[in-house]
Structures are given as structure tokens and as C-alpha cells.
Amino acid sequence: MSAVTAARDAKKQEVVKEDAMWLQKELINKNYHEVATAHAAGRKVSATFVPGNLNELLMCFDFARRLPETDALQNGLRRKSGKMILDAERDGHSEDVCTYVKADLGMMLQNTGPTGEPMPSPDLLLLSYTGCFTFMKWFELVRQKYDCETVMLHVPYQGDGKINPAMRKYVVDQIKEKVIPACERISGKKFDIDLLRQYMRESVKAEENLVRVLQSAKHKPSPIDGYFGAVYYIGPMFTAFRGVPEASRFYDMLWQEVEARMRAGKGPITPEGEMTEEKYRLVVEGPPNWTSFRDFWKMFYEEGAVIVASTYAKVGGVYDFGFRHDPEHPLESLADYCLGCYTNLNFPQRIDMICKYIDEYQADGLLINSIKSCNSFSAGQLLILREVEKRTGKPAAFVESDLVDPRYFSGANIKNRLESYLQMIKQKRAAAGAGAAH
């Protein structure tokens, strides 16, 4: 290989990121180091899920905070999850089990976290049940392995599309009577409600800026990608940093970058640099594929397709419809947060949300990434697709992949479907233009 070819290939591999994206990576790695060294530092470790996570409350007890879905997706991004899934299957877990679960169980078998540091056993498993039944089975398996205490915060499903006072009280009572006493006992620290309020004040600052960033995609051209790019934006908020000053600084920096791009009329930053021409504006439902994340994103930006809004970017909190943590009513605020997560909404609410996004963000249509092993997202997606098409008159389509199992990502199939879908949008536009001319 010539020196010129080598230099060109190296440049090709170089990933372009905003400053805020690099800071986000530092924060995530810092948290993994804190988790890895927690027991040596005399701290306890909690494990909890992203939707409905009580991060501010856990910080009151100085837990080092692990999030198993984040561990799985980080291992997927680093191309480590395939072996972990095979190890879990060899250990007796079915091919049809959620691949996040198998990646997590496989990681436990090798006892090494995504950054290569050890992954200590948790002292507390805190389950906020927000619409995904798999979470319950997942923590049963983890509890069996580590014999650690499991606390279940049961969150009622929004069956009729609203949060009523009885639902809120039911969650608050559990926080007071079950969650806080367990945290006090395991951590050896007393609960301080003023400390919780302090963390929530920081949460609100970050939440305000996150919403500004996500809603900047209403601008044409959109300065962000609200799906692939949003993965970096939601990371600190949805994991172990909501409520800490570093998160507030991250979202300040992020908003300044995005606002500057919006004022300059610039498009999103992609792994290969700035996207110069916006040809299609899409709304996406369903999580991304992590093992081929860059290749997946590339299929979109090479076609000039920007995702202006996505439901995945709301899985850890639906802030853009008005929710903020409330320091004046901290426990009620935690309850409302859990009750309002995307996976806890009913189908009419999800459909309404997608239709609003298509309208308010002037999108050309809806694309669904149907995840083979994720029932909480994939169940009912055909119903969502048909209803959104009917209500908006905009075309919708499916692609299929998986979360962190590289066996279920077919780049050629997805590329063909995406190209066909964008062709359909083009034809609809042409037909609409011809109709308007007459």
C-alpha cells in the first residue's frame, strides 16, 4: 500500500464530531471509570434502566450508576456485542430474547465493561417498570446471578392516555415506602430532600437546552439529525448525568453549537463532515442499530435525508411536550417522569406524537426501523404506520434490523428499501406539484 493510499484510508476512518459530541464521550467514559472503581472507593453500585430512571434520587445516596441498556449499546458501537450474545446463547438463552439482555448477560460472563475496565456486581437493582415487560425478566436473571437486592417501582401504564392523581400517588407512595428505605439501607446514607431539589434544578437547565436542540430541526435546513445525531445529544440526559453540573455545561455548549449552525443556515454534522444539501426530511420510529451505526447513518446522509424527529430520542423522557423535573414537588415530579416515558404511552398517544412531528417539522414521511428482538417498540408498528399514513397523507415505510446483534443487519436490504422509499417521496412530490400546476 502506498503512503498516499494509507493516508487517504486513515482520513476516511476519521470520524467528524462536534465539540459537544467529544465531551459526551468523555462523560460516558468517566462514568464507566466511576462504576469500575466504586467498590474500591467504598461506594455502592446501582443498576437501573433508561426509561423512568431515578438518577437524581440515586445520586442522593452516592450510588455509582450503571444502565444495562447503555452498556449493551456501547458494546454494540464498539463491535463487542456479537460475541457476548453468542456466549449468552451458549449459556442457555434463546435466539428470540432481546439482544440487549443477551449482550448484558454475555458481558457479565466476561466481567469486563465497554471501556475494558471491570464491571462490578451491582448492590441494588432498581427497576422502574415503564412499559417493557422484558425489563422484569432481565433483572430476574441478573438477580439470580448476583444475589443482590431488587427493588421494583411499578409504574401504571397510560392505558387511557393521561396521568391521573391516583396513578401519581401510587408511584410516590412506592418511592417513599420502598425505594428510599432500600437506598438508605444499602448505601448507609440518609435521604436528603433538599439535595434532591438541588439536583433537579440542574436537571431543568439541561432539559431546557435539550428541547431547544431537538426543536431546532424545525428550521430549514435542519442543523441537527434528530435520530443518529440525537443519540449523542440524549446520552448524558438519559443516563447517569441528568442533575449534575457537567450535564448543564454539556447542554449549554451543545445549544451554542447548534444555534450557530442554525443561524449560518448549515446542515447537520455527520461522521464524514457537514451535510451540505437537505433533500428529504424524515421522522423515524424505533431504536437504531448499534453494531453498524455509522454504515446505517451513512445510507441516509449520502441521499440527503435528514431525520428531523424520532421517537427513540424520547425513550428516556418526553421533554419536548412540556415535562420538566420540578424541584418544588420532587417526588411527584419523579412519578410524572416515569409515567410519561415514551414506552409507557398508549398507541393513540404515540400516533399523535408522530403525526405532530410530521406536521410541525414539515417532514416528508415516516420511516420505521422494526427491531427484531424489541417487543416494546416493534409491537403495533404496522398499525402506527397505517394510521400515520391515513392521517397525514404522507408515505411511510419499514426497514428491519436489530439492536446489538450483528447477524440481523443487512446493509444491502436496508439500502434498497430506503432508496425505494425516497423514490416514493420524490414521486409523491412530483404528483403534488403537477396537481398544483393544474
Using CB atoms within 10 Å of the CB of residue 89, give its burial: 0 to 12 exposed, 13 to 18 middle, 19+ buried.
middle
Q: How far apart are CA 163 and CA 170, in angstroms?
A: 11
Cell numbers 428491519: residue? 400
pLDDT score recorded for residue 362 = 98
**Which residue blocks in 38-116 are alpha helix, DSSP H?**
55-59, 68-77, 81-90, 99-110
Name 151's bridge partners: 126
Taking only the tens place, the pLDDT of each residue in 406-427 is 999 999 999 999 999 999 999 9
Pairing of strands 124-129, 45-48: parallel
pLDDT score recorded for residue 263 = 96
pLDDT score recorded for residue 438 = 58
Peptide bond between residue 221 and the one before it cis (omega within 30 degrees of 0): yes
At position 21, the amino acid (one-letter code) is: M
Taking only the tens place, the pLDDT of each residue in 348-363 is 999 999 999 999 999 9
Quick check: 192 and 60 in contact, CB under 8 A?
yes
In sign, the C-alpha dihedral spanning 142, 376, 346, 233 is: positive
Which residues neighbour 367 within 8 Å (Cβ) at sequence distance 6 or greater? 282, 283, 284, 285, 307, 396, 397, 398, 399, 418, 421
Report, as an integer, the average pLDDT of 40-55. 94
Q: How far apart are CA 325 and CA 320, in angstroms?
A: 13
Q: How far apart are CA 333 and CA 340, in angstroms?
A: 10
Phi, psi of 269 (to 5 degrees): -85, 130
Which residue has better confidence, 96 or 322? 322
pLDDT score recorded for residue 94 = 84
Between the two ends of the chain, the Cα-to-Cα distance in Å is 59
User: Which of helix, strand or coil describes residue 174?
Assistant: helix
Indicate the DSSP class of residue 403.
S
Q: What pTM, to 2 d.p., does this model score?
A: 0.92
Calculate the average pLDDT of the chain. 91
pLDDT score recorded for residue 431 = 82
